[in-house]
Every structure is written in structure tokens, then in C-alpha cells.
Amino acid sequence: MKEESITVSDATGYEAIEIFGAREHNLKNLDLSIPRNKLVVITGISGSGKSSLAFDTLYAEGQRRYMESFSAYARSFIGNMERPDVDKINGLSPVISIEQKTTSRNPRSTVGTVTEIYDFFRLLFARAGEAFSYVTGEKMVRQSEDQIIQHLFDNFNQKKISLLAPVVKGRKGHYRELFEEIRKSGFTKVRIDGEITDLVPKMQVDRYKIHDIEIVIDRLLVQEVDRYRISQSVTATLKQGKGIMMVVPHLDKGDGKAQFFSKYLMDPVSGISYDEPAPNMFSFNSPYGACPTCNGLGHIEEITEDSIIPDRALSIAQGGIAPLGEYRDIWIFRTLETLVKKYKGKLATPINELPKECLQVILHGNLESEAKPTLQFQGILKFLQEYNEHGSEYAQDWLQEYKTVRVCPDCQGARLKKESLHFKIDGRNISELANLDLNDLEAW
């Protein structure tokens, strides 16, 4: 080890750490001196004794001296540390050893998560984040019953309104049982897809269509003398609507636009609502926070058309669809054969001579079409993609060369679901903060 001339001296009185007769492990009775107050690197080939010198001699001796400073009573709990195999060390101050930590190979880890700074961010956003609607950008609001009632008097005084409790929002189904249940609870009217109708026995709606259904709780004139009745109705509406209610003003020419009110975070314009924020809503390791498209990774692996058909002059039988290889008597080739036949082609036809529509079906499938069940096919790309997502390690390796990684189209790499990304503090969401460099973050 090369030594510079030493000028610095400190509280130990030594200008260097002097080691005499170090014999730990494979150290050969080593004498050396390491300058103090310098950054010193111990380097050498594997097995040359770097760790034996740094950890097993210097650090071990420092630790042992520290332990010896405890009372005999305390030491009886810790046990005595063995003296490293060294004759003498001078100039040693208290020691700290920092070991290289092999972080878990979780692809979701970031500096923020490994250092746990991100955990404090999550807590901060759950407590202090302001929610905005991902539909309209409006600030989400929550209102108490009293505030809702006051709003009715401020905005609809001397006007007729209906109070509606939403029970189905944008979902398919016939809702036979639901209508029956509502009717048995004593309500007489519902609003289905914007139309108020009387509830009748055995009522149902088109099961394949998307519906909005609300119970009509009350129709009333907003006036001061009825304040008590109105507050009773608001309570009942919020109960049926599980914390959410709608108000529809009656205008001369039909009903006005519905307004939403909620005890929870809600967009007053579109009516979408968010769960109450909790720290796990801001975690890309949690299903409550992760972007559902990329599972919180920020990127997706895609199998592309060009990667699986590198040479369009080849036929399918010749291995033109690269991951399938050449023709074999297996399910996938038999399926493709049936499909190609339908377009008057053969598996031996070069891919660039197959009809466009045929290739389209081979790649992207025809499940949406009217094709006969025997001719239905999900498409090679989807097939390989699913195989990749749910497949074994073998499948992963097999498809490796056909995969392209690209930024998640839904979260743009931010890794969280859209609700979580619409909570902001001082105009920034948690992902934007996590991407700031530390100086900018500190300023923020």
C-alpha cells in the first residue's frame, strides 16, 4: 500500500492506523499503516485478503474495543468478542462498517422505495393529497348531510326536485332481483338510463346493455317549511345510495341535468367517486394502487407482428411465424390450416401472398366476428401474449426474442392507477414527486 506523507493528526494522536502482525485468515503476518482522515481503498484480486484486513481485523478490533467500554454486567449479555489475530493496532477510532447490500431483485424497486422515502410520501398523499377527477379534472369534493341540505336551499329554493339514490352505475345486467328488492322496500319509482318509470312486478332491463339505475326516493318542492322532511329524505337517499345521491331539478320542459352529491370524494360533474385515500392506494406494489395494465411495472412486454414474422416470403409451413417453427401435426397448425383454407389458401402459401383479411385473423383473431365456433380463433399475437403472461419460465425464455418492452400506455410509466395519480399536493402527483431530483424535491 502506497503511503503519502502524513500531515494530519487528530484526537487519537496518531497520523495513521498502524497494524502490526495481522494474521487473520490468509493474512501473512502483515505490518502496514493506513493514513487517517483519507479515503483509502483496499484493492486486490479475489482471495488476497481484502475482507480479512478490513472486516475481520480492523472492524473486528474496533467492535471489540467498543464492547469492552461497556460494564461487565452489560457485557454478560452481549458475550465477549474474540480478539482478531493481530499483534497490535494503533490509531484506531470507533469503527463503522457498511456492507454492500444486495437489494432484492424486485423489478418494482426504486431508490425511493429502497430508502423508504417513498413510504412517507404515500402517507403524506393519503393524509394531505387533494383529489381531482380523472374524467373532468374537477376538484373532488365530499359533503356532509348538512352541507348537501344547505346546497339544496341555496340553489333550488322554490323549485321542484327529485332525490335519487344511484344503485347501478354503468353496468350490464337484467337487474330483475334488484327491481324486486327495491319494490319490496316500498319505493314506487326508479330512473332507468335517465327515464323515470313506475316500478312494476317482474320488471327487468336488457341484460346485454349498460345501465344506470337510480331509486327515486322523493319528489318535493324546496321550501323552508319543509326543511325537516327534506332533511329526512336526504338521509334516506344517502342511505340507499351508499353515501351518494343525485338531485334532478324539474324544469318546465322536462328534467334538468342531474347533480351528484357524496359523503365521499366525488366529482360533482361526472359523478365518479374515489375510495377514501389510504397509503396503499399510492403503492405500485399493492393491487389497490398498481396500474392494472402493467401491474405496477410501468412498462409492458409486447409481442409484435414484425418480430414474429421476420420474413414474409416464407409460408407458415416453412416456419414463417417464427415462434411456432416449421409445420408439425399439433393443435395450433391444425387450427391455422382450417383458418387459411377458409380464405382459399394453404399453409404452404407464402405469408405475403395470403389475403390481407386472412393474415389479420391469424394475427389478431376473429372472436368479435360472426365466425362459426369451429372457426373462431383468438389470434397468434394474443395467444403468444397470454402464453407469455401466464406461462412457465420455459415459455418466457421461448418468447424472449419476440418481446419488445414499451412504456405502459395507460400510466405512461407512472406505475399507479389513474385515481392514485389524480391526488395532488401543490399541483404535483406522487409519481411526479418521485421523479424529481433531490434538490428540486427539497425546494418543493
Residues that bind Zn ion (CB under 5 A): 291, 293-294, 408, 410-411
Strand 189-192 with 210-221, pairing? antiparallel
Q: How far is the CB of 410 from Zn ion (least distance, A)?
A: 5
Tell me the sheet residues that pair with 423: 131
Nearer to Zn ion, 52 or 429 (CB): 429
What is the number of helices (H) and of strands (E) in the chain? 16, 14
Alpha-carbon distance of 93 to 96, in angstroms, equals: 10
167: nearest Cα among 155, 179, 158, 159 = 179
In the complex, minimum distance from the CB of residue 429 to Zn ion, in angstroms, rounded to a whole number: 14
Task: Give CA–CA dist 190/318, Å, rounded.
Answer: 62
Query: CB of 289 within 8 A of CB of 422?
Result: no
Q: How far is the CB of 389 from Zn ion (least distance, A)?
A: 14
Q: Which is nearer to Zn ion, 168 or 294 (CB)?
A: 294
State the minimum distance, in angstroms, from the CB of residue 419 to Zn ion.
Answer: 13
Indicate the residue among 58 and 408 with the shorter CB distance to Zn ion: 408
Residue pointed to by grid coordinates 483509502: 40
The smaller minimum CB distance to Zn ion, of residues 298 and 323, is found at 298
Furthest-apart CA atoms within the chain: distance in Å: 103
- Measured between alpha carbons, how far is residue 314 from residues 201, 310, 351, 353, 401 in Å? 64, 9, 6, 10, 19
Residues paired with 273 in a beta bridge: 266
Looking at the Cβ atoms of 266 and 291, the one nearer to Zn ion is: 291
Query: In angstroms, rounded to a whole number, what is the distance separating the alpha carbons of residues 306 and 288?
Result: 35
* Minimum CB distance to Zn ion smaller for 113 or for 143: 113
Instruction: Find the shortest distance in angstroms from Cβ 371 to Zn ion.
Output: 32
CB of 411 to Zn ion, least distance (A): 3
